[in-house]
Chain A
């Protein structure tokens, strides 16, 4: 565990710490990678459609079953558990689908990646072009302050905001504001730093289409005099079902170091049960994913086995992960320079840079 005297970080991509990161060589830097023989890595990177088609068929069937039963039983109380299950599919499992299909690794067939990507983006309210490019930056400059647009817990920690994340309150409010701005043909100053000019028309077009869909759903609800359409499609299911993707997502980097060039120090691998791993598409192997982002989700357990001797031991459960994350994040509320430092195995390659 380490305390860093740095405080008052500026997380803006156009602020003081953005210049600081560039000056220190933290942007577009060379990162530590575990040594994996080329034939092994090539084998792990191979694409196939099979696992993702199987998982997507189960995923769609689960949507139809939970959503159908929720609608059938609505407005009775027996519909509630089905709405809760549907919400987790809508507001949480879409996080991993957005993510993996955005990397283009889930399916071998490109149009399948794109189709699931766009559906998942709509559900979780992440505009596809903006988030494709923001995630590109997240991988180039992972948890580099002033560079990474996807730092979930900024320091000093604002506890109420973190709690709000579990109900997708800040995410949804931010998404709606940006959707309106993009539909009006504008990007904000941060987005201008990572969305290339030739891609911007896509942002504006998709924002207008999405607003039209959301308005159509609201119009249908008004026409039917029923909440059902907005409970099944739009911001509400993205919010009442967000908790699981936030629960899993905050384990990825929560409490760990900023401004280091070694994913073993700023990312966390957590062992999770098969149900959560299905919903999360194996993103619990997060150090492995960041180090080798082109390895598909279904090959991450094998990648973990290949490099685990060079990694900190994984957290054995979500509960175990939060036993270290919660105290660290609470301490970061009053001591922003504090962070956890994962312990590498004795024979692991030393840390590259800190």
Chain B
């Protein structure tokens, strides 16, 4: 079942950056890649309770601000220690300048 949530204006995130988004007690991270495509994942690192939106986006990698854990935010793949568990990803669409994520 789809559950599209209106998150923000597409221009609210700079290219190669990330934005935190909280909804109904859940937290998400919304990314804009260097080529201005949008992606979304769970907002917390799978290693420890740290918000990824405080981290650094490098190309298609999000790096956790606490321990350098890195994920490919397009697929959620954990790229090595100290992160061992993949991130959950969510579908994203952009309509009329607004970004929506399907939180499922």
Contact = CB atoms under 8 A, between A and B. Distances in A.
B7 interface: no
Q: Which 8 A-B pairs have the closest CB atoms?
A: A104-B68, A45-B56, A136-B67, A136-B82, A294-B65, A103-B68, A196-B84, A198-B84
Given A103-B68, A133-B82, A294 B49 contact: no
Given A42-B17, A198-B84, A140 B56 contact: no
Majority secondary structure of chain B interface residues (helix, strand, loop or mixed) = loop
Nearest to A195: B81
Contact of A199 (B49, B65, B67, B81): B81
Contacts of B63: 104, 294
B81 A294 contact: no
Contacts of B67: 136, 139-140, 293
Interface string B46-71: 01110000011010000101111010
Given A103-B68, A196-B84, A293-B68, 17 more contacts: A42-B17, A47-B58, A104-B63, A105-B68, A132-B82, A133-B82, A136-B67, A136-B82, A139-B67, A140-B66, A196-B81, A198-B84, A199-B84, A293-B65, A293-B66, A294-B56, A294-B63
A349 interface: no
B58 A292 contact: no
Contacts of B58: 47, 108
B12 to A, nearest CB: 12
Nearest to B61: A110
Give the interface residue-count category, chain B: 10 to 19
Interface of B: 17, 47-49, 55-56, 58, 63, 65-68, 70, 81-82, 84
Given A105-B68, A132-B81, A132-B82, A294 B55 contact: yes
Nearest to A199: B81
A28 interface: yes
A294 B84 contact: no
Nearest to B56: A45
Q: Which of B48, B58, B82 has the most CB of A within 10 A?
A: B82
A28 B63 CA distance: 18
Contacts of A198: 84
A131 to B, nearest CB: 12
A139 B66 contact: yes
A293 B54 CA distance: 12
Interface string A40-56: 00100111000000000
9 contacts: A28-B48, A42-B17, A104-B70, A133-B81, A199-B81, A293-B66, A294-B56, A294-B65, A294-B66
A326 B62 CA distance: 42
Interface in A280-315: 292-294
Contacts of B47: 136
Given A133-B82, A136-B82, A294 B48 contact: no
Interface string A92-127: 000000000001110010000000000000000000
A42 B82 CA distance: 22
A175 B8 CA distance: 52
Contacts of A133: 81-82
Q: Which of the listed residues A108, A140, A198 has the most CB atoms from chain B within 10 Å of its own CB?
A: A140
